[in-house]
Amino acid sequence: MFKELNPLLHSELRLAVMSLLMSVEEADFVYIRQQTGATAGNLSIQVDKLNKAGYVEVNKTFKGKMPCTTLKITPEGIKAFEEYVEALKSYIVK
């Protein structure tokens, strides 16, 4: 009856990051930090976990002398997110 929830996406912050990335082509680290209210350190750790799982692509560049990190959801990340949402629906009693 209940489908298994992906433990990687069941974290509030990682789920928020994935939700934001589902609605944009890419987003920079600062924007995601502002939207989630996370600290830079905590967000960095959670993004690294998503990156190692292959769910997000991280691109580090510079704008002038300032570092700029952008994130993009991967096709594997889209699939995992969609499966998570479907599994979550099994917990909603009708």
CATH code for the domain of 69: 1.10.10.10
Q: Tell me the pLDDT tens digit for each residue of 12-46.
A: 999 999 999 999 999 999 999 999 999 999 999 99
Residue 17 contacts residue 37 (beta carbons within 8 Å) = no
DSSP, res 10: -
Helix 12-22 vs helix 40-52: angle between axes, to the nearest 10 degrees? Answer: 70
| Structural domain includes residue 7 | no
| Structural domain includes residue 3 | no
Q: Tell me the pLDDT tens digit for each residue of 59-69.
A: 999 989 999 99
| Structural domain includes residue 29 | yes
